[in-house]
Amino acid sequence: MIDPLAPTRLGPVVLRNRVIKAATFEGASPEGLVTDRLVDYHLAVAEGGVGMTTVAYLAVAPEGRTHAEQIHWRPEALPGLRRLTDAVHGAGAAISAQIGHAGPVANGASNSAPSIAPSRSFNPLSMRFHRVATEADLDRIVDDHARATRYAIEAGFDAVEIHLGHNYLASAFLSPRLNKRRDGYGGTLAGRATFPRRIVAAVREAAAATGAPIAITAKLNMRDGYRSGLDLPESLDFARMLEDGGHLDALELTGGSSLMNPMYLFRGGAPVKEMAQRMPVPALLRAGIRLSGHAFFREYEWHPLYFLEHARAFRAALRMPLILLGGITDLPAMERAMAEGFEYVALGRALLREPDLVRRIAADRATVSQCTHCNLCMSTIYSGTRCHLAEPRPVGEAG
């Protein structure tokens, strides 16, 4: 059996183990730039033993942020990002940049720019309609992904993760429900896949042009988790397109929609009251969330390896390396993922609770995560993502 804690490679990058810190928005960039809190956030999990940590979410364009307090790629952001990558490398871990465009998930009111979507629809976050993306928009955003890749290399990242999930813009194009276009970017899966495939190709081409040894991965929904969204058969077909394109070193499998069904990704408790209190939305919408938020924040039972059943279909259909996430909190879950044929595992909430979990598992393989899957951490993303149960660490002391 493959040891998940043994050294390995991700494309051209050497990792000290097969454990990846999943991209979870840190809420630690209030000015859209790297802060000490953001450095400490990733330094803690790097010192805590992961093979690679993922910075989320780095928008490729200003209007591609989910909220104004988020980093987008530009020259002013590079010195701070270089400080971040240097810190993580100093702790012995690799570091990946999650890049993408939020599209309909963006809060246009916060960004002071209209949110963009494949088709006309209403954005409850900003209480206005999305602007329908033109072909010129799509060309620009493809170029923005290439530019972001070059910036990531300049800033010292070891990998780039392309966000093709959660109904961000590329994912929204894949959704039959969100993409009603009648041009070459809509209709059949082949049409809906055109834009995300262009993005992936542009990222690889930009990386190749620099000659830098950087890994390229993507995060893809297996299921959107709502009626008429992207589902397993088409997602599998799209994954085959990605494999045939040959541009990715690994594919991370996820699910759920930040627009329609966010808890499909997280599983466990649904903190409706806490989210309503803290979401940066109009007061009327906040009141509506309190009253009927359980229809949006649906509650799904948490269990170990909760995405494994769907992910098996991708493992059976694909040759490319796959990253399994969802309900992986201890060594037995990691080992089962390896036994099922997955090359890497990704952890999120468990590392919020215990940034040093991987180091502790390596020291005592019977270690069990203390994460309770309450999901109260979701309500903290606007003020600094953290676990309510973990002891706070002073800024500047990743420890």
Domains and their CATH numbers in the chain:
8-380 (3.20.20.70)
**CA–CA dist 355, 70 (Å, integer):** 22
Q: Is-contact 218 170, C-beta < 8 A?
A: no
Helix axes 135-154, 194-210, angle to 10 degrees: 30
* Cα–Cα distance measured from residue 245 to residue 280, given in angstroms and rounded to the nearest whole number: 39
pLDDT (0 to 100) of residue 278:
61
pLDDT computed for residue 283 by the predictor: 62
Place of tokens 């009927």: 292
Give the pLDDT score at 274. 73
Global pTM reads 0.93
Residue 57: cis peptide before it, omega within 30 degrees of 0:
yes
Answer yes or no: 300 catalytic. no
d(CA 246, CA 260): 31
Tell me how far apart the alpha carbons of residues 346 and 329 are, in angstroms, rounded to a whole number: 9
pLDDT at 383: 80
Place of tokens 């990386």: 207
d(C-alpha 358, C-alpha 58), whole Å: 25
pLDDT of residue 121: 85
Of 168, 226, 306, 344, which one is the catalytic site residue? Answer: 168
d(CA 156, CA 92): 14
* pLDDT of 399: 38
First CA to last CA distance, the chain = 32
The pLDDT tens digits along the chain (399 residues) read 899 999 999 999 999 999 999 999 999 999 999 999 999 999 999 999 999 999 999 999 999 999 999 999 999 999 999 999 999 999 999 999 999 999 999 988 889 999 999 999 887 666 788 999 999 999 999 999 999 999 999 999 999 999 999 999 999 999 999 999 999 999 999 999 999 999 999 999 999 999 999 999 999 999 999 999 999 999 999 999 999 999 999 999 999 999 889 889 989 988 777 766 666 555 655 666 666 666 677 888 999 999 999 999 999 999 999 999 999 999 999 999 999 999 999 999 999 999 999 999 999 999 999 999 998 888 788 788 888 777 555 555 443
